[in-house]
Amino acid sequence: MNKIININLAGRLIPIDEAAYDSLRDYLNRLKSFFAREKGGDEIVRDMEDRMGELFQDKLKKGTPCIMLSDIDDMIKIMGSPEQIESEAGEEENFNARNVNNAKQAAHNDSENTRSHRLSRNKNDKMVGGVCGGIANHFNIDATIIRVALIIITLAWGSGLILYLLLWAILPEVDDQQPSVKRRLYRNPKQKVVGGVCSGIAAYANVDPIVPRVIFAAPLLGMIFFGILDSGIFFFPVLVGGLPTLVLLYIILWASLPEATTVAENLEMRGEKVDIHNLSQAIKGAEIDKNVTPKRSGLAQLIAVAIKIFVFFILGTILLALGSIIIAALMAMLGFTSTTGFMFPFGSLITENETYKVLIWVCIVLTLAIPFIGVMRTLVRVISGRKKSTNRWITGVMTVLFGAGVFGLFWIGGSIASDFKVPYTKTYELALAQPNNDTLLVRQMVLDESGILSDKDWDREDYEEWDNEGIRFRDDSTIAISNINLHFTNSPDNQYHLRVQKSANGRTLKRATKLAENVAFNYKQEGNVLLIPRDFVLAKNHPFRNQKISIEIQVPKGKVFKTEGIDRNMYTDRIFRVRRGQFSYETKASSMWDDEQYYRMGDEGSIESLDKNNTDTTTTPVKDTIIN
């Protein structure tokens, strides 16, 4: 069924079929543009319309109900196409003018061709200096590819940047006004499986879309196949390394390549010249495409579906992994207890103030994430090559947030620093039973998992297990720090003494006093064995403010002491100071005593080491003195 419309052709009413109408209108437009440059051109066309109307009316009189496409064709045969008219009736001057125009056009094309053969910088297609645009023009490749290659070279070997600067300085700048016949790399939204990246590449390189898809999916497929076959040791690392790289490359291309939505862009994507003729053909082709589904072989379709499933599966897994990481980070940030509890303890180490803890994490995230996002955005913009106007609002907001993050960190840092202003130290004399054989054994206390004194005896194995942890995270979410040091000194009398210095810092003396007094020093004595702890526990809501325990064991003259399992760290004094808003940390080493070695305190505090098998009557072999 066709649509008939009535037209007024130079005063005559003509019923005409819709398709014939399109053809007629097209012909008339061509005539109009052909005679446009001629004096009285409209009159000519009007006269011709008049004649056409006459011809149509004759046909209608003969019995045709309306003018059809074939009638239009007949009419054009009689009247002639603009080109035919040109050759029959072309005026001398027009002929000359046409020749001159052709000559000019040819010369123009020639000069442009020579221009693109010389390597130059392209003024029109530039992001930074136009180097990539010039190279792309010279080789007739899309500038985006050159930019991606340059970035990859820079990231991998670093020399890309120097090369770019060198070319920028050397190459002359050329203003290329030529409308781009070169091919541009687009994403093809009409034939997309995931993002249309592969079909865009396929259209650009003039291959079937299956080819780039296989390339992108190769590592994944290879992993699966080789995993099943359990062979190909050589390929495996290549594939494992290749998969994340290709996925990343795909995502970058997806973000940076523009979609070929308009017909003109579609033509550019396929590398065809964008002029009226091609455009109209492309539009017609596009309409036909809509009706005809492309027939692909069964195998190709199967592979396409399989690839689709794999891609979605992989992307889904990645998203899940990312999501769970983000959720875990958020939970830790908000202070939920977890067995790993990585971030939480650090928070309470720094401050007991809950608000501060949140603020610290927010500021850290802002300070780190925003530059990262900024760099990503710039990278994407450089790759895409299109100077899309950057959203000023976004940049402004990002800068403000970044500044707020940095400022917040500094402010919190200053606030915490002032917490260390005032130091306080208190010395206690603790009860110590005198050993009955004039030898005091100082042994490391062994705590099991939950911090309770274990039944085991201390032995070498446990000792080696302890690495130099300064901080231990206990199960009940408190923290123990090993800021303890040990000294052996001369006793003023003939008794062993145990003196302990507890110190801490605070914003005020009152706070410092409270913190120092709250330091728990748990020691134990069993016979002549003094068990001292490795660390002490910071009570909940008591942050680290340089709490320290200094143990002084006074040994009387002529008496002996021996250490068992005391780590060398115990002999280092860690001094943590805040002066005028600056942190300073220094270590002071005091006398170190070998482990498992008897020492006798001599005159004037000099200490001599004793042989194990010393037959001195004042000493007794080790075994007898161990009391359980």
Partner 1 sequence: MNTENTAAQMRKGVLEFCILSVIRKSEVYPSDIIEQMKAAGLVILEGTLYPLLTRLKNAELLSYRWEESLSGPPRKYFSLTEKGDKFYAELEQTWSQLAEAVELITNPKA
User: With respect to partner 1, which residue has the nearer C-beta, 12 or 514?
Assistant: 12
Other Cβ atoms closer than 10 A to 544: 22
- The whole-angstrom distance between residue 139's C-alpha and the CA centroid of its chain comes to 32
Q: For residue 354, give both structure tokens.
A: 């809950």
Pairing state of beta strands 173-174 and 121-122? parallel
Closest of 373, 378, 401 to residue 388, by C-alpha: 378
For 337, what's the count of Cα atoms within 13 Å in the CB-facing half-sphere?
6
Instruction: Say whether residue 7 binds partner 1 (CB under 8 A).
Output: no
How buried is 611 (Cβ within 10 angstroms: 0-12 exposed, 13-18 middle, 19+ buried)?
exposed
Rg (CA), the chain: 44
Residue 63 or 179 having the CB closest to partner 1: 63
Q: Check binding of 499 to partner 1 (CB under 8 A).
A: no
For residue 331, state whether it binds partner 1 (rule: CB under 8 A): no
Residue 294 interacts with partner 1 (CB under 8 A): yes or no: no
Q: How far apart are CA 618 and CA 605, in angstroms?
A: 19
Window contacting partner 1 (CB under 8 A); options: 9-17, 125-133, 251-259, 412-420: 9-17
Tell which one of 6, 19, 26, 40 touches partner 1 (CB under 8 A).
40
State in angstroms the smallest separation of the CB of 77 from partner 1.
Answer: 8
For the bound state, the minimum distance from the C-beta of residue 36 to partner 1, rounded and expressed in Å, comes to 12
In the complex, least distance from residue 88 CB atom to partner 1, rounded to whole angstroms: 4
Subset of 62-81 contacting partner 1 (CB under 8 A): 78-81
Choice between 14 and 132, CB closer to partner 1: 14
Alpha helices by DSSP H, listed for 458-560, are: 460-465, 509-517
How many C-beta neighbours within 10 Å does residue 253 have?
Answer: 22
11 binds partner 1 (CB under 8 A): yes
Whether 551 and 498 have beta carbons less than 8 Å apart is answered as yes
Please name the residues in contact with 459: beta carbons below 8 A apart, sequence gap of 6 or more: none
Q: How far is the CB of 101 from partner 1 (least distance, A)?
A: 19
Strands (E), 231-287: none
Taking CB under 8 A as the rule, does residue 140 contact partner 1? no
Distances (CA, A) of 540 to 347, 349, 351, 562: 12, 10, 11, 35
**Which among 45-53, 235-243, 420-428, 478-486 is the span making contact with partner 1, rule CB under 8 A?**
45-53
Cβ 49 vs Cβ 9: under 8 Å:
yes
How far apart are alpha carbons 169 and 161 in whole angstroms?
13
26 binds partner 1 (CB under 8 A): no
The Cα–Cα gap between 555 and 487 comes to 10
Among 21, 24, 35, 257, binds partner 1 (CB under 8 A): 35
90 vs 558, which CB is nearer to partner 1?
A: 90
DSSP string, 19-62: HHHHHHHHHHHHHHHHHTTSTTHHHHHHHHHHHHHHHHHHHHHH
Q: State how far the Cα of 458 lies from the Cα of 524, in Å rounded to an integer.
A: 14
Residue 354 interacts with partner 1 (CB under 8 A): yes or no = no
The residue from 7, 10, 69, 149 that contacts partner 1 (CB under 8 A) is 10
Q: How far is the CB of 16 from partner 1 (least distance, A)?
A: 17
Comparing CB distances to partner 1, the nearer of 9 and 504 is: 9
CB of 276 to partner 1, least distance (A): 22
Q: Among 33-41, 96-104, 119-127, 165-173, which window interacts with partner 1 (CB under 8 A)?
A: 33-41
Q: Is 59 in the site for partner 1 (CB under 8 A)?
A: no
Return d(Cα 61, Cα 12) in angstroms, integer: 13
Q: CA 533, CA 524: separation in Å to the nearest integer? A: 9
Per CB under 8 A, the list member of 3, 39, 290, 460 interacting with partner 1 is: 39
User: Residue 91 CB, nearest distance to partner 1 (Å)?
Assistant: 7
Piece of the chain touching partner 1 by CB under 8 A; list 52-60, 256-264, 363-371, 483-491: 52-60
Nearer to partner 1 (CB atom), residue 88 or residue 603: 88
492 is a site residue for partner 1 (CB under 8 A):
no
> 80 to 99, contacts with partner 1 by CB under 8 A?
80-81, 84-85, 87-91
Q: In terms of CB distance, is 92 or 467 closer to partner 1?
A: 92
Rank residues 59 and 511 by Cβ distance to partner 1 and give the closer one.
59
The DSSP letter of residue 259 is: B
Query: Which residue number, 51 or 296, has a Cβ lying nearer to partner 1?
Result: 51
Summarize as ranges the residues that interact with partner 1 (CB under 8 A).
10-12, 31, 35, 38-40, 43-44, 47-48, 50-51, 53-54, 57, 78-81, 84-85, 87-91
